[in-house]
Amino acid sequence: MKLASAVSDQTSLEAAIEECVSSVRKELGELSPDLAVVFISTHFASEYRQVPVILGDKLGPVLLFGCSAGGVIGGGREVEHRPGFSLTVAHLPGVELSPFHVESQDLPDMDAAPDEWENALKVKAGSDPNFLLLVDPFSFPAANFLMGMDYAFNSSVKVGGMASGGNSPGDNALFLGDQAHDSGAIGLAMTGNIALDTVVAQGCRPVGQLMSITKSQQNLLMELDQRPPLDLVRELYTSSSQRDQELMQSSLFLGILMDDLMEEPKHGDFLVRNVVGIDSKSGVMAIGEILREGQRVQFHLRDSLTSTDDLAELLTRYSGEERNTRGEGALLFSCLGRGEYLYGYPDHDTNMFRDKVGAIPLGGFFCNGEIGPVGSTTFLHGYTSSFGIFRPLGE
């Protein structure tokens, strides 16, 4: 297995593709690519349908997979607010790639059996696939799709993102093979000698105490430890530092512990969701997730410093884990709200990945929503950096 990645900010699409192809060919040497993952900024929107043609001419027979992007990542660099083209290629001996494109009407019902999902995607769960997923946010029910994928392929890793850059239906592009689709979702099932590790950094830190939901209805949080949640937030506010008090006014989130039996939760053990509304009279909170009584939760805060610390801790933890094989390359699916918008300068997450994990090829894009697991469940996230790290299975 060998990967190579490059990025270009040339204002000509053909020149950008030529620059990236030349770079990755040098890195691959005599090896031929089996997969080409591309992300392209909206500056080239009028030329989206030319991408498969130009790449096919310059790379030869290779499976194309990618989408439009509000910003692109390639060669370990982030290109935002200007033209950008990212190309990551992979030589994958012993790996079978099974691509698929689905529209919303192609999806089985939510109560359908797993084999209906296998038939819809033409992928068998018994082959132990791992998945790359790209979704158009305007035309496809991503959350239901991920629930169905987890049900049918419960042992498979799924990572990816929502195409970005477009402002209305039909504006985005999903590249698969020699086609450029403007709706639905595309996926790539990878089987054989390949492992896909994930690091999902939601950019938050817990504050206060771990509590239990004692009353809820759908997404309404009505009681925590038998008290109105707003009362607990007010107490937390009073006992917090000035910095945290300021963050609570604009960046308060709820973290849901994904393992009910965990005694000492750490970063990455919570699914972080927005507090979308508060009733000041009843103290009830509306949360951006369906809740259930008995779940353990903790309030979280987010800012650039917190996001930096969160990512550093998770990447350090990943790099310290023992594996039979090392990562050969990675894709980063990062929120449009991160990057320069959050940190004030480019390449924050990519530089930290290189420092903590190593100088392996890294491509990706800035998404309208990021796909990655928390615990054993796959979620659609916001304000998150979701890494998929490729390595051979080994012995």
Q: If DSSP codes are grouped into helix, strand and coil, which group holds residue 284?
A: coil
Considering Cα of 373, then 374, then 378, then 380, what sign does the dihedral take?
A: negative
* Final residue in a domain of this structure, among 271, 301, 331: 301
pLDDT reported for residue 303: 86
Domain span at residue 266? 205-301
pLDDT reported for residue 261: 76
Q: Average of pLDDT values for 213-227?
A: 95
In this structure, the answer to whether residues 344 and 250 fall within a common structural domain is: no
In this structure, the answer to whether residues 271 and 330 fall within a common structural domain is: no
What are the CA-CA distances from residue 133 to residues 164, 174, 308, 371 (Å)?
Answer: 14, 10, 26, 8
In this structure, the answer to whether residues 135 and 239 fall within a common structural domain is: no
Q: Average of pLDDT values for 385-392?
A: 97
Q: Average of pLDDT values for 135-159?
A: 95
In this structure, the answer to whether residues 24 and 152 fall within a common structural domain is: yes
* Final residue in a domain of this structure, among 301, 334, 350: 301
CB 1 within 8 A of CB 390: yes
pLDDT reported for residue 137: 94
In this structure, the answer to whether residues 277 and 182 fall within a common structural domain is: no
Least confident of 3-17, 140-154, 262-276: 262-276
What region, left, alpha or beta, does residue 86 occupy, with left being phi > 0 and alpha being psi -120 to 50 degrees? beta
pLDDT reported for residue 161: 97
Q: How many whole angstroms separate alpha carbon 185 and alpha carbon 106? A: 10
* Final residue in a domain of this structure, among 269, 301, 333: 301
Considering Cα of 114, then 117, then 119, then 124, what sign does the dihedral take?
A: negative
In this structure, the answer to whether residues 313 and 175 fall within a common structural domain is: yes
In this structure, the answer to whether residues 269 and 136 fall within a common structural domain is: no
- Which string of DSSP letters, residue by residue, matches 83-142? --EEEEEEE-TTEEEEEEEE-GGGSPPTT--HHHHHHHHT--GGG--EEEEEE-TTT--H
Q: If DSSP codes are grouped into helix, strand and coil, which group holds residue 54?
A: helix
In terms of C-beta distances under 8 Å and separation of at least 24 residues, what long-range contacts does 50-57 make, across chains too?
Answer: 50/13, 51/13, 51/17, 51/173, 51/175, 51/180, 52/175, 52/177, 52/178, 52/179, 52/180, 53/178, 54/13, 54/14, 54/17, 55/17, 55/21, 55/87, 56/178
Least confident of 12-16, 131-135, 269-273: 269-273
Counting the structural domains of the chain, the total is 2
Q: If DSSP codes are grouped into helix, strand and coil, which group holds residue 247?
A: helix
**Sorting pLDDT into bands at 50, 70 and 90, what band is 97?**
very high
Residue 16 predicted with pLDDT over 60: yes
Amino acid identity for residue 114 in this structure:
P
Q: How many whole angstroms separate alpha carbon 130 and alpha carbon 337? A: 27
pLDDT tens-place string over residues 37-87: 999 999 999 999 999 999 999 998 899 999 999 999 999 899 999 999 999
In this structure, the answer to whether residues 114 and 165 fall within a common structural domain is: yes
pLDDT reported for residue 205: 87
Q: Average of pLDDT values for 114-124?
A: 94
pLDDT reported for residue 340: 93
- What percent of the chain lies above the pLDDT cut of 70? 100
In this structure, the answer to whether residues 212 and 339 fall within a common structural domain is: no
In this structure, the answer to whether residues 179 and 221 fall within a common structural domain is: no
- What percent of the chain lies above the pLDDT cut of 90? 87
pLDDT tens-place string over residues 159-184: 999 999 999 999 999 999 999 999 99
Q: How many whole angstroms separate alpha carbon 298 and alpha carbon 387? A: 24
In this structure, the answer to whether residues 178 and 244 fall within a common structural domain is: no
In this structure, the answer to whether residues 211 and 341 fall within a common structural domain is: no
pLDDT tens-place string over residues 239-289: 999 999 999 988 899 999 988 778 788 777 889 999 989 998 899 999 999
Considering Cα of 361, then 379, then 300, then 270, what sign does the dihedral take?
A: negative
Considering Cα of 169, then 170, then 175, then 176, what sign does the dihedral take?
A: positive
Q: How many whole angstroms separate alpha carbon 327 and alpha carbon 195? A: 9
pLDDT reported for residue 203: 87
* Local structure of residue 32 (DSSP, 8 states): P
Residue 395 predicted with pLDDT over 60: no
Q: How many whole angstroms separate alpha carbon 318 and alpha carbon 310? A: 12
CB atoms within 10 A of CB 242: 7
pLDDT tens-place string over residues 306-318: 899 999 999 999 9
Return all residues near 226 (Cβ < 8 A) that are at least 6 apart: 214, 215
Q: How many whole angstroms separate alpha carbon 18 and alpha carbon 74? A: 14
Residue with tokens 């000041």: 280
Query: Which of 86-90, 249-253, 320-324: highest mean pLDDT?
Result: 86-90
